[in-house]
Amino acid sequence: MITRLATAVGMVAGLVLGAATTAAAAPMPRQAVGAPCGAHAKACVQLSTNQAWLLSGGVVSYGPTPIRSGMSGHETPPGNFKVSFKNRNHWSTLFNAPMPFSVFFNGGIAFHQGSLDRASHGCIRMTRAGAETFFNALRPGDPVQVVP
């Protein structure tokens, strides 16, 4: 009886330790090469440096390109998003302003051409070259990562 109990305890301990080892050995999400986002992202934004990149297979394919993000009270939120839709000649009815080369990825937040001289109401403003490149490269469903 004691032998069976010791064997059972050993088997349970082995299962628990085996599960813990397996969980600890699970691979971490891969970091992109040359950008501060995960390799899963197709577009990467780093708010603290006002820069953005396009990624292909976890490697930078464009950038860094300068950006401006949301002002105080209208901060661009960090997180993982997906491109929802694009509009080459979007007009903001909320702010009565043009938003050329808009690529929306978080509700009303989009990459678009705009002044880099001042912060936005949450969007990622880019130069014309940057906005046009992002517009041409990104498709609905593509992953976007915004990091602090």
pLDDT digits (tens, 9 = 90+) for 69-99: 999 999 999 999 999 999 999 999 999 999 9
Burial 106-134 (b: 16+ CB within 10 A, else e): beebbbbbbeeeebbbbbbbbeeebbebb
Q: What is the pLDDT of residues 91-104, one digit of tens each?
A: 999 999 999 999 99
Helix (H, G, I), strand (E, B) or coil at 125: strand
Question: What token pair was written down for 37?
Answer: 């986002």
pTM assigned to the model: 0.81
What average pLDDT score do residues 43-62 get? 98
Q: What is the DSSP string of 6-24?
A: HHHHHHHHHHHHHHHHHHH
Please check whether the domain covering 43-147 is classified as CATH 2.40.440.10: yes
Structure tokens at 116: 């880099």
Where are the domains positioned within the chain?
Answer: 43-147
pLDDT band (50, 70, 90) for residue 29: confident
Two structure tokens written together for 99: 């938003």
